[in-house]
Amino acid sequence: MRTVLISRMDNDGDVLLAGPAVRAVAATDRVVLLVSPSGEQAARMLPGVHDVFVWPCPWTGFDPPAVDPVSVGTLVDALRLARVHRAFILTSFHQSPLPMALLLRMAGLGWIGAASVDYPGSLLDLRHHPEPGHEVERALSLVRAGGYDLPAGDDGRLAIRDTLPPTWLPEAPFVVVHPGASVPARAPGAKTARAMVEALVADGHQVVVTGSASERELTAEVAAGGGIDLGGRTGFRELAALLKAASCVVVGNTGPAHLAAAVGTPVVSLFAPVVSAENWAPWGVPTVLLGDQQAPCQATRARVCPVPGHPCLAGISADEVVVAVRKLIEEVAG
């Protein structure tokens, strides 16, 4: 088998969206996945990945490290030793693959493919121009242009390796509300999320509130509406098991939305239009999209909401969420 490097230098959610493209390549070749530290948890859970390289990339992320020549040299040496046959650089539509392509050339790679609107000089062998669409489709389009495709029976949905459920799972059925996000503009806010929890509990649902260790204050405030507070108590694998057991997940445009999709759980997506739902909505699972997609913040890529009151998400009523959760649960029950 040939060794093919796939690079996706972003957060866990972005890495999950690369999963179908990874499986397409892994159907015939050995895949080594190169990710940032912020994407490592998802990378190690993707089917089809033979090995994972982790590198602190200085041109992606919200708080990128400074360029470190020693770190760059270490990566180049490691890739040279890995004897990689070819490489695909997966990027979002607004990112350039050329810095990574340069490092891969320095490591001796003879064939590199990426989507690029910029003139690549001698850095790319395949300069791909994907059609507009979801990030999953963009990544698949690139590897297909390079000669790979999903194997028979693979429907192209997101997937992770099976994980054993933790012993502390709540008794089913339950709904998960995940109120936080790495980008504040994509989170509904504590008051709005708490009202959603209160309404779901009043409608007869058991509600579990999740969040990272840094979001404990947020989850405690939201769960005070009658939910079970699991803030800071779930690592990525545990969260995957929890989401898999849930009847439905209420979440903004953030990594756990894509993790829910990867375990096949329906999503009520509280989607701020700072980026396009066409590109970033939950993929391959029943979804109800809530939020004003024509709000003034549309397509701004803002990290902090530029509109007073955060109306695109604060304007979502708790009753809308209750109706959406009912709809999805009924749809799955069939």
Q: Please check whether residue 158 lies inside any domain of the structure.
A: no
Residues 105 and 31 in one domain: yes
Q: How would you list the strands of the sheet with 30-35, edge to edge?
A: 49-54, 30-35, 3-8, 86-89, 112-115, 126-128
Please tell me the number of Cα atoms within 13 Å of 134 on its side-chain side: 18
Looking up tokens 């397409």 gives: 24
91 Cβ neighbours under 8 A, 6+ residues apart: 8, 9, 97, 114, 115
Q: How far is CA 316 from the centre of its chain?
A: 23
pLDDT digits (tens, 9 = 90+) for 221-241: 999 999 999 999 998 999 999
Q: For the residues 12-25, what does the mean pLDDT come to?
A: 98
pLDDT score, position 61 = 84
**Banded pLDDT at 166 (limits 50, 70, 90):** low
Residue 207 has pLDDT above 90, yes or no: yes
Question: Quick check: is 47 in a domain?
Answer: yes
Could you tell me if residue 66 is inside a domain?
yes
Name which of 48, 29, 4, 331 is nearest 15 in CA terms: 48
Residues 214 and 232: their CA atoms lie apart, in Å, by 7
Judge contact between 241 and 256, C-beta under 8 A: no
pLDDT band at 171 (very low <50, low <70, confident <90, very high): confident
Q: Residue 165: pLDDT above 80?
A: no
The radius of gyration of the chain from alpha carbons, rounded to an integer in Å, stands at 20
Whether residue 147 is predicted with pLDDT greater than 90 in this model: the reply is yes
Positive or negative CA dihedral for 216, 220, 223, 227? positive
Four-CA torsion 89, 95, 99, 100, nearest 10 degrees: -20
Distance CA 35, CA 40 (A): 6
Q: Is residue 168 part of a domain?
A: no
Residue 163 resides in a domain:
no
Report the pLDDT value the prediction gives residue 257, as an integer from 0 to 100.
98
Of the candidate ranges 22-26, 58-62, 145-149, 198-202, the one whose mean pLDDT is the lowest: 58-62
Same domain, 134 and 211: no
Q: Do residues 194 and 271 both lie within one domain?
A: yes
Q: How high is the pLDDT of residue 101?
A: 98
In the structure encoding, which two tokens stand for residue 142, read together? 């690139």
Is 118 within the bounds of a domain?
yes
Look up residue 28 and give its amino acid. T
Structural domains counted in the chain:
2
Residues 185, 123, single domain; the answer is no
Asked, for residue 273, whether it belongs to a domain, the answer is: yes
- Taken in order 89, 90, 93, 94, is the CA torsion positive or negative? negative
- Together in a domain, 133 and 180: no
Query: Cis bond leading into 173, ω under 30°?
Result: yes
- Is the per-residue pLDDT at 245 higher than 90? yes
Q: What is the pLDDT of residue 131?
A: 84
164 in any annotated domain: no
Average pLDDT, integer, range 237-253: 95
Do both 135 and 188 map to the same domain?
Answer: no
One domain, residues 106 and 249? no
Q: Centre a 10 Å sphere on the Cβ of residue 281 and count the other Cβ atoms it contains.
A: 19
Block residue for tokens 């903004």 = 252
Burial zone of 97 (CB within 10 Å; 0-12 exposed, 13-18 middle, 19+ buried)? buried
Full residue range of the structural domain in which residue 76 is found: 3-145
Q: What is the pLDDT of residues 272-318, one digit of tens each?
A: 999 999 999 999 999 999 999 999 999 998 999 888 889 999 999 99
CA distance 22 to 25: 5
CA angle in degrees (0–180, nearest 5) for 320-185-246 = 50
Q: Per-residue pLDDT averaged across 239-265, rounded?
A: 96
Q: pLDDT for 182-202, tens place per residue?
A: 899 999 999 999 999 999 999
Question: Among positive and negative, which fits the CA dihedral 292, 321, 313, 250?
Answer: negative
Task: Please write down the HEC assignment for all residues of 106-142.
Answer: HCCCCCEEEECCCCCCCCCCEEECCCCCCHHHHHHHH
Res. 63 pLDDT band, cuts 50 70 90: confident
User: Do 137 and 262 share a structural domain?
Assistant: no
Residues 120 and 198 in one domain: no
Match 């994407």 to its residue by tokens. Answer: 39
Q: Which residue, 130, 145, 160, sits at the end of a domain? A: 145
- Dump pLDDT digits (tens) for 97-137: 999 999 999 999 999 999 999 999 999 999 999 888 999 99
* Of the candidate ranges 59-68, 149-158, 203-212, 319-328, the one whose mean pLDDT is the lowest: 59-68
Q: Note the pLDDT of residue 1.
A: 79
Please report which confidence band the pLDDT of residue 62 belongs to, taking 50, 70 and 90 as the band edges: confident
Q: Which CATH number is 275's domain given?
A: 3.40.50.2000
Q: Across the chain, what does the average pLDDT equal?
A: 94
Between CA 315 and CA 65 the distance in angstroms is 37
Distance CA 244, CA 266 (A): 10
Tracing tokens 């649902």 back to the chain, one arrives at 205
